[in-house]
Structure 1
Amino acid sequence: MEKEKVAPLQQVVLYAIINYAGTAIGIISALFIYPLDFRFLGTVRFVDNISQLLFPIMVLGASHALIKFYPALDERHRKQLFNYSLLSVSVISLLVLGGIFGFSAMADYKDSMLLYFAFPVAVALAFVELFKKQAQDLQKIAVPTLYEKIFPKIALPAIFLLLIGGFVSEYQSLALYAASYVLIFILTGIYLFKRFSPGFNYRFKTLFGTISRKDYFRYSLYSFAGSLGSLLAFRIDGIIIYNLISEEANGIFSTAVTLASTLQIPAVGMFALYAPIISTYLKNNNLPDLNIKYKEIARLLFFIGAVLYSCIFLGIEDLFRILPAYEKLKDTIPIIIVLGFSVLINMATGFNGEIITYSKYYRFNLVAILVLILLNVSLNLYFIYYTNTGIMGVAYASFFSMTLFNISKLVFIYKKFRLLPFDKSFAKLAVVFVSSGIAIYFLPNFESHIINLIYKTGLSILINVVVVYKLRLVYQVNIWADKVFAKIGR
């Protein structure tokens, strides 16, 4: 039993390390390499966004169904289910390719060639998603995550440098980008099939005698709708900017998104950690404990997000000014500020999405995402066609739609469960960060941008952490700080 507990823990730790390493590589690339050619970056991000929208169609919920029905099956039927998923993804991928051929032939779209670069990326992502779910069942998720999170972060900067150096053309660069995902697909497949042998049984009558075919397809289609909806909601900006503004604008915006999204890294790990606990509370109808945990985690996430956002708000101008690519990066600053604040609001609302997902009201998430898509697209079109805000308008559209999306989930949870993530301590926390941020912002500046960066961000962290600790506003902060003090005092 002990080994069964230790192995998943090791996988979780490795998973976290890999995610942070991937993010670090992405940040370095965004600051030093991608500004060399924002136009090409915008093209790559467009290809990436298209592939991210195609691959859920290819998977069609099969990966989620693999996790859902896996516990109810014996070993033989588990292998059949995996084989069925492989066959399903293969057939649908061919249909998608046929759709791309048809679209290219009938539609007068100037960049239809880019769809053919997006297709192999989408196929690779579809199979990797399936392989990862099977590896998750085997509790072997770290290595597939390494391939998925690290390889593209290394490949794209390398391809960028080859293009800038004149060693490859733009189309050759895109072909190399697609090939890097095919390599990830091959490596992930090799890793999985060394540990799992599904055989070649493609007769599925006995499989659907064990699980209901109707239940399988209903769950798969619901999962597909949710996955596609989420990706469409969060990827639509890159498609709209590329087609309605320019490739370069798309590159600038995607760099801002990369840097702003670093705020939410702690939240992703926290949500994964607490998801089983939330599910248990809801299953047992333990709303009092859920209420305590809801507020506790919302304060913690807001504290972490606000510390990081304060550093960005106070120091990003000085940070960029000491970098060689300042003239290119300066256009991303207001976008990062707006999108970063959107991420902070998302963190401050706690795990409202998880509460809805694991409750009997899980269908609301799909409705909310569809509304988010409609709102996001409408606001994007308004800001692009009826204002002169350019990509800042897209940032505003994203901010407003995401804020309303989070508010709708808060209202829904309050109506159904009478739960809110906010309390008096949360309000005090907000006052502390707003007050310190305003005070430090108006402090005099030095001539040196390095000194400004260090003293303003350092002062912000020091004041906020000390005040929050003294007022005991975030339980976990006091626990962690007391442990550090205890070790120092030894």
Structure 2
Amino acid sequence: MSVVARQGFKYTVIGYLGFILGALSTYFVFPYDFAFYGKLSYILTTAEIMVPVVVFGLSYANVKFFHQTQKEGKHQNVLSLSLAGILFNFGVFTALFLLFHYLFPEYKQEAWWKLKYIILALVLVLAISHVLNRYVSNYKRIVVPNIFENIFPKLANLGAFCLFIFLGMSQPTAFGFFFAMFTMSTIGYFVYANSLENLKPDLSTAYVKKDGLWKDILNYSFFGFLGNIGNYIAIKIDKFMIGNALGMEELGIYSTLFAMISLISIPQLGLFNISAPIINKSIAENDMEELDRFHKKTSLSLFFLGAVLFSCLLVGFPYLVSFIKNGTMLRESEPVIWILGSAILFDLATGFNGNIISMSKYYRYNIVFMIFLAVLTIGLNYYFLQHTGLGIAGVALATAISLTLYNIVKISFNYYKFKVHPLTIEMIFVSIITTMAITVAIILPDFSNNFLNLIYKPFIVLVMIYIGNHFLKIFPIHDYVNKKFIRSIFKPGK
């Protein structure tokens, strides 16, 4: 079994362990105070929106130019200069942030200013982590970094929440713990990167000046920055706008529902990180046939698994919230689950279409697409928040519309330029099977015990999907559920 399969599977296992930790927190801890959970979510979201400005696309340049620089033994030189660039960018960004609020003091009433110290500090450690995460992915090693990327944020949220709500410690103390966990993850990235290959800081500029390589790196980084910031704004702006427009409690409810939905997209993150070098290689060798095959195969896998999990979530949600404190508040916002989940499922079906563009000579087009997505998302969110009474359901609808249109545009572009696309007839079969399974599970009678309903209705969904998949041969489950593959997962050094 290939290293991609092993690493992808291990990544997914870690992802689901993180999900279990997050789920336990989401279901049994955070509902005790949606307002404080909303504040933690607001801090992280705001910092993540600012991170692309500080990173300035340098993280992706460490993937794009890795093979070229590694051949000449200068990949660590580029890494060192990238980290130095992060520190410089952070200094400039902080100065501009303070200057803006000095010139426009009315914005000091906003939540981001009141929480500026922890937000700015978090921006720096997240930016460094982002560069190291992409650098490590060149070695096709994503499992350990996933612990830093997935587990540590969960621990940060849980620990900070418990310190403030249950142990009665001050809010600054809780925020201090929150920041400390992200700092530890950044240190972990350094340690792990050094274990793969001894890190030797090299800030000399002779190599990047040779043949004007620095121009290529900065040019690629600049366009990567524009595309990346558009992506972060489009994906994160909903929580930011909810926090400012509706308050921290509504943001806490939305974040809780979003955490539930995130179950279906966990495999996507690991596959994209490990696939980036493969996509880059296929494009460099102009092997579009292999790229199309890989694109379709991975997209179908993501869509199938996501559809199974989403179906179970939909039929189990009404009974799950009955065991959650303040669960009635979540039940009242159930449309968010259906709307956002459907959009994320379609996003899974489109696969890594954005990565294909970013790794090709057409990477500049990502700017246009990301600007389109960011403007559309902000505009729709503003409309639904200011001109409708839909609340967080309106925000979910705005995000779903913009994300779906964005993916359609990227699919069309990749087909026009590369003759590759992710959609297959098998996806239609998956949609039919899961729709039937959901419908049957919903119309089946309920037991008086909600725990039995929570178990048996998703079980009905799983059985129906399994039977449908068995006869239609959609997804090769046997390739992943066998002794040979399980043994390969635990091979040392793999």
Q: TM-score under structure 1 normalisation? A: 0.87
Aligned mates of 2:426, 2:407 — CA distance in 1: 20
Aligned mates of 1:305, 1:322 — CA distance in 2: 24
CA shift in 2, pair 1:72/1:417, >3 Å: closer
Alignment of 1:141-152 (within 5 A): 142-152=143-153
1:320·1:329 contact (CA, 8 Å) conserved in 2?
A: yes
Alignment correspondent of 1:89: 86
Deviates more, 1:326-335 or 1:52-61: 326-335
Give CA deviations for 1:358-405 in whole Å, capped at 9, x if unaligned: 444333333212111111111111111111101110001011111111
Look up the equivalent residue of 1:28 and give its one-letter code: L
Alignment correspondent of 2:33: 37
Alignment correspondent of 2:60: 64
Alignment correspondent of 2:77: 80
CA apart distance, 1:60: 1.7
CA shift in 2, pair 1:330/1:215, >3 Å: same
Match of 1:49 among 37, 45, 49: 45
1:255·1:332 contact (CA, 8 Å) conserved in 2?
A: no
Alignment of 1:95-174 (within 5 A): 95-106=92-103, 107-108=105-106, 109-110=108-109, 111=111, 112-137=113-138, 142-174=143-175
Alignment correspondent of 1:476: 476
Alignment correspondent of 2:198: 196
Aligned mates of 1:68, 1:137 — CA distance in 2: 10
Alignment of 1:56-455 (within 5 A): 56-73=52-69, 77-106=74-103, 107-108=105-106, 109-110=108-109, 111=111, 112-137=113-138, 142-192=143-193, 196-199=198-201, 202-209=203-210, 211-272=212-273, 274-275=275-276, 278-279=279-280, 281-288=282-289, 290-455=291-456
2:11·2:143 contact (CA, 8 Å) conserved in 1?
A: yes
Aligned mates of 2:138, 2:279 — CA distance in 1: 21
CA apart distance, 1:246: 0.8
CA apart distance, 1:115: 1.8
CA apart distance, 1:47: 1.2
Give CA deviations for 1:7-57 in whole Å, capped at 9, x if unaligned: x88766654443332222112111111111111111111111121122222
CA shift in 2, pair 1:126/1:278, >3 Å: closer
1:31·1:325 contact (CA, 8 Å) conserved in 2?
A: no
CA shift in 2, pair 1:131/1:356, >3 Å: closer
Larger Rg: 1
CA apart distance, 1:460: 1.2
CA shift in 2, pair 1:69/1:463, >3 Å: closer
CA shift in 2, pair 1:479/1:340, >3 Å: same
SS in 2 for 1:409: helix
Give percent identity, aligned residues only.
Answer: 29
CA shift in 2, pair 1:331/1:172, >3 Å: farther
CA apart distance, 1:132: 3.2
2:39·2:248 contact (CA, 8 Å) conserved in 1?
A: yes
Look up the equivalent residue of 1:443 and give its one-letter code: L
1:312·1:337 contact (CA, 8 Å) conserved in 2?
A: no
Aligned mates of 1:323, 1:53 — CA distance in 2: 30
2:335·2:393 contact (CA, 8 Å) conserved in 1?
A: yes
Aligned mates of 1:432, 1:329 — CA distance in 2: 28
CA shift in 2, pair 1:148/1:422, >3 Å: closer
RMSD: 3.0
Aligned mates of 1:197, 1:131 — CA distance in 2: 12
1:35·1:328 contact (CA, 8 Å) conserved in 2?
A: no
Aligned mates of 1:132, 1:273 — CA distance in 2: 11
CA apart distance, 1:282: 4.4
Aligned mates of 2:90, 2:279 — CA distance in 1: 36
Q: TM-score under structure 2 normalisation? A: 0.87
Aligned mates of 2:270, 2:188 — CA distance in 1: 25
CA apart distance, 1:83: 2.9
1:11·1:139 contact (CA, 8 Å) conserved in 2?
A: yes
Alignment correspondent of 1:19: 15
CA apart distance, 1:229: 1.6
Aligned mates of 1:202, 1:278 — CA distance in 2: 29
CA shift in 2, pair 1:151/1:210, >3 Å: same
Aligned mates of 1:142, 1:167 — CA distance in 2: 36
1:35·1:329 contact (CA, 8 Å) conserved in 2?
A: no
1:120·1:182 contact (CA, 8 Å) conserved in 2?
A: no
CA shift in 2, pair 1:91/1:352, >3 Å: closer
1:31·1:329 contact (CA, 8 Å) conserved in 2?
A: no
Gapped runs of 5+ residues in structure 2? 487-494
